[in-house]
Amino acid sequence: MALSTYRMFVVQYKEYLVNIEEVVAQMGLVLGSLPDAECRIVFTQFDPDAVGSAVALKAILEHHFKRRVTILYCGAIGHPQNLFLCTRYNLKQLVVPIQSAPVACDGVTILVDSCSTTDKRIPQGLVLKPRMVFDHHVEDNGRVDRDGLVWIDNVGATAVLITELAQHLCPEVLADPLVALLLSLGIYTDTKSLKHTRKRDRLAYDIVCSNASETELTEAINYRVRESYFLQLTKAVRGWRRQGGKLVTGIGVVPADEGDHVSVVADELIRMEGITFVVVWVIVDGVVRISARSLGSTIDLNEFLKNCFGNGGGKIGPDGRGEGGAIMEMSLHKMFHDIRSRRVMEKMVRTTLSNAVLAV
């Protein structure tokens, strides 16, 4: 793929989109101002896009900029596909929990696939001061500190940006089968199996996909799903509340490694005829996590998340589909011990959220 073809698709999005040379120049400035500092790539949500982007960016920083790089993640690994990737490719060698390696002030912190430094998944007390941000959550970008490089672009996945950067700086990193596989998977999953792509997404996918093993990609896409997912889906269907095109439901209290099912359930429910807005909640470790989906323009997903929860955010796809999440602050920890208090807690969350969603 000729580079000029890429440049054609680097179109201005608000004031944030910069062209690839500008990105490279900014990277050079940031790294040049801290010549010996180690780079720490941080992501807040463990998913194929974040992991793929981080692993590929690490390779670019090592090969092209000759930097030492570590990759740190926040939160738990709970989605069955992520657990599969961890085991199959021994990712825990490559990506470590942020708690085990606190971000020191003298390092170059780089945030990928998120641009919020107030994300609830960042451990309390840890202040992230990213000098570079690579992200595609365009609607969130008001919250990022503008010191250094901020590349937030309206593409299907952060992996698209990193592929473009690699293609421009050192295409050889894309020949690595693991890098190619993870980037392909990042684009594939973030665009909902390539259903919601723009031209840049497809161009990037073509490049990375040609270097990834077809068998391994198929294996990672067709990951097995746990029984508990189906039980939680049943619970969500039984307990839903609907009003017009709005649907709100919960899957209750689940173990930490099953918390990511909430987004899979939300993806499933938004497909239902007549439904244009879905909110699904789950309680993990005494914290309420929300996954929201919207179709069309009747409800502003980001405004809803911010108004209701004061945090969170999402992204809007090329067809106007919204996808996002938030954390609801409720002091539930104390109630967490027996089965009866679990029911009380679930009821409290259900009522609060149903009222919030149905009132929109």
The terminus-to-terminus CA distance of the chain in angstroms comes to 46
Among 139, 164, 190, 323, binds Mn ion (CB under 5 A): 190
Q: Tell me, rounded to whole angstroms, the distance of Cα 201 from its chain centroid.
A: 16
Part in contact with Mn ion (CB under 5 A); list of ranges 44-52, 101-109, 147-155, 206-214: 44-52
Dihedral sign for Cα atoms in the order 183, 185, 191, 195? positive
HEC profile of 253-308: ECCHHHCCHHHHHHHHHCCCCCCCEEEEEEEECCEEEEEEEECCCCCCHHHHHHHH
- Asked whether position 135 contacts Mn ion by CB under 5 A, the answer is no
The smaller minimum CB distance to Mn ion, of residues 316 and 332, is found at 316
Part in contact with Mn ion (CB under 5 A); list of ranges 43-51, 206-214, 220-228, 275-283: 43-51
CA-closest candidate to residue 275, choices 295, 245, 243: 245
Judged by CB under 5 A, the chain residues 194 through 223 that form the site for Mn ion are none
The smaller minimum CB distance to Mn ion, of residues 52 and 107, is found at 52
Part in contact with Mn ion (CB under 5 A); list of ranges 3-11, 41-49, 78-86, 206-214: 41-49
CA-closest candidate to residue 109, choices 145, 85, 133: 133
Q: Note the helical H segments in the chain.
A: 3-9, 20-33, 48-63, 80-89, 158-169, 177-190, 199-211, 214-221, 227-238, 261-269, 301-309, 339-358
The smaller minimum CB distance to Mn ion, of residues 109 and 158, is found at 158
Least separation in angstroms between residue 207's CB and Mn ion is 18
Judged by CB under 5 A, the chain residues 96 through 125 that form the site for Mn ion are 113
What is the rounded distance in angstroms from the CA atom of residue 223 to the CA atom of residue 218?
9
CA-closest candidate to residue 45, choices 202, 280, 262: 262
Q: Which residue is nearest to Mn ion (CB)?
A: 49
The smaller minimum CB distance to Mn ion, of residues 23 and 357, is found at 23
Total residues interacting with Mn ion, rule: CB under 5 A: 4
Least separation in angstroms between residue 163's CB and Mn ion is 13
The smaller minimum CB distance to Mn ion, of residues 208 and 283, is found at 208
Least separation in angstroms between residue 49's CB and Mn ion is 3
The smaller minimum CB distance to Mn ion, of residues 113 and 346, is found at 113
C-beta atoms surrounding 243 within 10 Å: 13
Least separation in angstroms between residue 154's CB and Mn ion is 12
What is the rounded distance in angstroms from the CA atom of residue 23 to the CA atom of residue 132?
10
41 bridge partner residues = 71, 110
Angle of the 199-211 helix axis to the 158-169 helix axis, nearest 10: 70
- Asked whether position 49 contacts Mn ion by CB under 5 A, the answer is yes
Residue position matching structure tokens 């993640």? 73
- Pairing state of beta strands 287-294 and 322-328? antiparallel
Part in contact with Mn ion (CB under 5 A); list of ranges 35-43, 185-193, 233-241, 299-307: 185-193
The smaller minimum CB distance to Mn ion, of residues 116 and 158, is found at 158
Judged by CB under 5 A, the chain residues 297 through 316 that form the site for Mn ion are none
- Asked whether position 346 contacts Mn ion by CB under 5 A, the answer is no
Judged by CB under 5 A, the chain residues 142 through 181 that form the site for Mn ion are 158
The smaller minimum CB distance to Mn ion, of residues 53 and 109, is found at 53
The smaller minimum CB distance to Mn ion, of residues 283 and 326, is found at 326
What is the rounded distance in angstroms from the CA atom of residue 39 to the CA atom of residue 64?
13
Least separation in angstroms between residue 214's CB and Mn ion is 23
What residues make contact with Mn ion under the rule CB under 5 A?
49, 113, 158, 190
